[in-house]
Copies of this chain bind each other. A is one copy, B any other.
Amino acid sequence: MMIVMQANASEDDVQAVLQAVQRHGFQPHVSRGEERVVIGVVGEARRAEPDAFLRLPGVARVVPLSRPYKLASREFHPQDRQVRVGSVKIGGGASVVFIAGPCSVESRSQLLETAHAVKEAGAHMLRGGAFKPRTSPYSFQGLGERGLELLAEAREATGLPVVTEVMSPELVPLVARYADMLQIGARNMQNYALLRAAGASGKPILLKRGMSAKLDELLLAAEYILSTGNENVVLCERGIRTFETATRNTTDINAVPALKERTSLPVIVDPSHSTGHWAYVAPVARAAVAAGADGLIVEVHPRPEEALSDGAQSLKPERFARLVEEARAIAAVLSR
């Protein structure tokens, strides 16, 4: 980091900052300009707290020079990383992956019908919620363990690996017993106990961006998982919260190239939550592939008008099948 002194800082101020830097175990490096002094702080920059220096007399600003994450950074790991879920490969030059299924597991017949339909349409993995984080305590909260059993049955029937959300550290062992990949939902992106427990399970993790998380914060959440030794993290852009109310969220399509520049972890996009409206899902899904995403996770329901959750944003299987074709043709343009 650099500590920028005020134009009128005294020599005593400068000396006090130098001592503080050393007291924190870092090496200061002074640069005296015509107008002001700038002090570089050398050492393990990720452990330094800019706050520690901001309150010293004469300090104008503290500017970090390095990104705050390491294990998640492309600098640390330049090659594109590939995450495997069973036989499915995500990222690292693999072809675009399609993950599809209902928002919630509602019943055996609903799930099996959907699983077969999305497989036939070209999906590589099955999604479905057993434990559902719902804004209202009065909304359907999911089937719980029964939902996990049905997901496992659907995997047996179709061969599709399963990803499902885990909402609490103590549920990690249960969900990990059934699922092939654990999803950390947007609301829990900064639930650090959960990130650590999920990481420690050794399962591949699908980490969704929080709805007001900056990209650096998403990467720091990934860093929590990576620091458990689990390298199998897939990042998911799922829409951010903005002032626009015409859509449920705003898909941050810029996040695809911006994340790819910062990290070598795979990046997928969820066009269902990021738009909230089925008619916008296919255009935005195509856009994600065109922007370079490694995959898509899409809500599909055979009869969206009967869905217990997210019916408004679910595709019917036929529409999903057409989307897979379009997305593949776009991926081909980009030689994927």
Contact = CB atoms under 8 A, between A and B. Distances in A.
Contact of A311 (B34, B38, B55, B194): B55
A240 to B, nearest CB: 6
A261 B210 CA distance: 28
A318 interface: no
A12 interface: no
A172 to B, nearest CB: 11
A209 B194 CA distance: 20
Given A251-B254, A258-B246, A307 B240 contact: no
A24 to B, nearest CB: 10
A309 interface: yes
8 closest A-B pairs by beta carbon, nearest first, are A212-B212, A31-B31, A290-B290, A287-B287, A168-B193, A187-B190, A286-B290, A55-B305
Given A242-B250, A287-B288, A311-B52, A38 B35 contact: no
A305 B20 contact: yes
Contacts of A326: 333-334
Contact of A136 (B68, B170, B191, B333): B68
A190 B246 CA distance: 19
Nearest to A331: B333
Interface residues of A, number: 108
Contact of A223 (B136, B247, B251, B292): B136
B283 A257 contact: yes
A9 B56 CA distance: 32
A137 B51 contact: no
Contact of A139 (B2, B49, B169, B194): B49
Contacts of A77: none
Contact of A280 (B240, B254, B275): B254
Interface stretch (A88-96, A113-121, A213-221): A213-221
B292 A283 contact: yes
Given A240-B242, A242-B250, A244-B252, 4 more contacts: A33-B40, A137-B220, A188-B190, A254-B275
A278 interface: yes
